[in-house]
Amino acid sequence: MAIPVLDTSTYFLMITSIINFLFSFTLVIFLLVNFFRKRTIGTFMLLFAYIFFSATSAVSIAYRISFIFNGAVINELTYLLAALGPLMLLPAFGFLYIFACRHILKDNEIVRIFIFAFLMFFFGMATALVGYDVFASSPVYSLLLDDLYVNPLFFSEAVSITPQLFTVSYYLVIQLVQIIVSIYVTGRIGWRAWRLSRKSDQPVRKRGLQTIGLGTILYLLGGMLSAFDAQLATIPALMMTIAALRALSFAGAYVLMYLGWIMPTWFRKMIRKRSWFEIQYQQIAKS
């Protein structure tokens, strides 16, 4: 695998990760204050969702730092951090899903438990596999057979173990599961929020649901932009542009979903004032 040189784009990508972390961690602080004030299960779930979103950005920052200080060499620590990034999103979406079920999603208790248990089980299983790949020299991990796993250090999509057996890199599986989960959870939340906003005649609730829906759209947009990273590695200027747009999309998504779910007092006042002006404008237009 060709090792990328340490150029401006390498540091720029780390800056975008720092931007995402600052936005998400700031919202974690706000949610923590909100939780101590309300002490509700819903706020607790949303708080943990944002904690794991922040952890994803923090791991990405650590990965970039390790990559830079190791001279663009992907060693065990760098690989471990690169693999843990997508994994952190699984419990984040799990807690976000449970939180959304308390408000706008209508899944029954069995479905909720099954989906959340699957996400946490896959999170634990994938973390164990990544740990095995990194720490396979330890006595405990050496008890496993080396020919039963694929070393994804070079991110190979498929490796032939025997003429009869093919196994897929679990790094690729982690990425695919993370993509499917993010589309499923954010897509359902966004679709439900937009539908409920169209049926609501209460200005504050309507704007709040629309804000949540817009936040999910921005998050999905950020996820789509993430898919272009590897393809644009040879075009630094375009890659940095995409990275900046991705960072802004994720940061905007975190903020909008926070505002839509929590509805701070200042946000409610702004909506009510705006709604009053809209009513006055409509009355003048009719006269």
Domain that holds residue 96: 8-201
Q: Strand 165-168 relative to strand 158-162: parallel, antiparallel, unpaired? A: antiparallel
Asked whether residue 38 is domain-assigned, the answer is yes
Give tens-digit pLDDT for 181-204: 888 999 999 999 998 888 877 878
* Number of domains within the chain: 1
pLDDT digits (tens, 9 = 90+) for 142-160: 444 343 444 444 334 434 4
- What average pLDDT does the chain have? 75
Instruction: Quickly list DSSP for 8-64.
Output: HHHHHHHHHHHHHHHHHHHHHHHHHHHHHHH--HHHHHHHHHHHHHHHHHHHHHHHH
Does the residue 197 lie in any domain? yes
* Residue 284 belongs to a domain: no
For residue 287, being part of any structural domain is answered with: no
Q: What is the pLDDT of residues 80-109, one digit of tens each?
A: 777 777 788 889 999 999 999 888 888 888
Length of the chain: 287
Does any domain span residue 213?
no
Q: Which is more confidently placed, 235 or 217?
A: 217
Q: Is there a contact between 61 and 10 (Cβ–Cβ < 8 Å)?
A: no
Q: Is residue 265 part of a domain?
A: no
CA-CA-CA-CA torsion sign (37, 41, 47, 51): positive
Per-residue pLDDT at 127? 76
Q: Mean pLDDT over residues 203-227, rounded?
A: 86
- Asked whether the beta carbons of 251 and 20 are under 8 A apart, the reply is yes
Residue 286's pLDDT is 55
Q: Does the pLDDT of residue 251 top 70, yes or no?
A: yes
Q: What is the pLDDT of residue 50?
A: 92
Digit-coded pLDDT (tens) for 265-282: 888 888 776 655 555 545
Mean of the pLDDT values across residues 209-236? 80
Q: How confident is the model at residue 161 (pLDDT cuts 50, 70, 90)?
A: very low
pLDDT at 216: 92
